[in-house]
Structure 1
Amino acid sequence: MMRIIEGAPMQSISRREVLSLAAQLTALAAAGTLTPAHSAPVEAAAEMAKFTANAVPETGRITIDLPEIAENGNAISLAVDIDHPMTPESHVVEALVVAEANPWPRVARFHFTPMSGRAMVATRIRLAGTQTVHVLAKTSDKRILIAQRQVKVTIGGCGG
């Protein structure tokens, strides 16, 4: 629904400008610049490899609280709890959340210090569709921890 505001200048766009814009967008799509979703799994793997520096991650120390089915991908609750001591000698330094099917897979990055007390975060994230969400954590002694969780995003309550 368009709302007209009294005294506001009206902008019009010509047919020629619309066709020019459409041609430019088509050229960008053909060049592969407008299709980040198609390369998202590759970008997600690259983000995780960059974070881990190709180290072998350990499983079983990260708890991910995500719904199995989310009716709206725009605001999904995420809570992460990393079971690791938070002492000056050994603590979680940072955590990375990667959603492999998002156009930009790096969803969030969190930094911790021993003063954090516990490596635990809660937030809302946006997911482009049904996919696997990965959480990686890096410790001060260069260990990498990993966990993943599948989330089914439905559109209007229908399977997606």
Structure 2
Amino acid sequence: MSKNDRPALSRRQLLVAAGSGMLMAAGVAAAPRAAHAGPAEADEAVKKLIGGASIKEGRVNLKLPQIAENGNTVPFTVSVDSPMTESDYVKSVYIISEGNPFPHVATFNFTPASGKAEVSMRMRMAKTQYVRAVATMSDGSVYQAKQEVKVTIGGCGG
């Protein structure tokens, strides 16, 4: 079969197909969802990450500013007290931001070869909210730290 033997789309068929595609895209974009997550959504995100493990306080150090002038770039540092040996080390640290549209902000994975379980970066925050750092250890235990950050200007388009 040569190129000229293919049936051609009429202008009407092309316009109908393009219009249908745009309507589908608009429908997906307009699908309702919460503007911001809350504590319940954050709890659900943590549960998906750690399963049924119980969470203890301690070992996790979370440093955030108490007031963020601009939520577009909020610095944080998280570290976990651990000897980072083959038998006792931090496997993962999850950052959960309770007021953002999507609460699971980041995951950091470690091994004993990491030497130290510490990371610093910046994130966006939509509004005043609690931020959690949840650490899973090699023995299956889970620890967390939680801190509130007051955001004066939201950084997530809201």
C-alpha separation between the residues in 2 aligned to 1:124 and 1:100?
16
- 1:8-157 matches, cutoff 5 A: 29=30, 33-155=31-153
Q: Against the structure 1 CA distance between its residues 150 and 84, is the aligned structure 2 distance closer, same or farther, given a 3 Å change threshold? A: same
Residue identity in the other structure for 1:43? E
Which residue in the other structure is 1:14 paired with? Answer: none
Further displaced range: 121-130 or 50-59 = 50-59
- Structure 1 residue matching 2:35: 3-state secondary structure: helix
What TM-score results when the alignment is normalised by the length of structure 1? Answer: 0.74
Following TM superposition, the consecutive aligned residue runs of length 4 or more in structure 1 with deviations greater than 4 angstroms are none
Question: What residue ranges of structure 1 are gaps of 5+ in the alignment?
Answer: 1-16
Alignment length, in residue pairs? 132
In the TM superposition, what is the alpha-carbon distance from 1:36 to its structure 2 partner? 3.0
C-alpha separation between the residues in 2 aligned to 1:73 and 1:83?
28
> Cα RMSD over matched residues?
2.3
Which residue in the other structure is 1:7 paired with? Answer: none
C-alpha separation between the residues in 2 aligned to 1:143 and 1:82?
13
Further displaced range: 35-44 or 142-151 = 35-44
Conserved 8 A contact 1:40-1:104: no
Residue identity in the other structure for 1:153? V
In the TM superposition, what is the alpha-carbon distance from 1:40 to its structure 2 partner? 4.5
Q: Against the structure 1 CA distance between its residues 38 and 129, is the aligned structure 2 distance closer, same or farther, given a 3 Å change threshold? A: closer
In the TM superposition, what is the alpha-carbon distance from 1:35 to its structure 2 partner? 2.7
In the TM superposition, what is the alpha-carbon distance from 1:46 to its structure 2 partner? 1.1
Q: Against the structure 1 CA distance between its residues 28 and 76, is the aligned structure 2 distance closer, same or farther, given a 3 Å change threshold? A: closer
Conserved 8 A contact 1:62-1:83: yes
C-alpha separation between the residues in 2 aligned to 1:124 and 1:67?
11
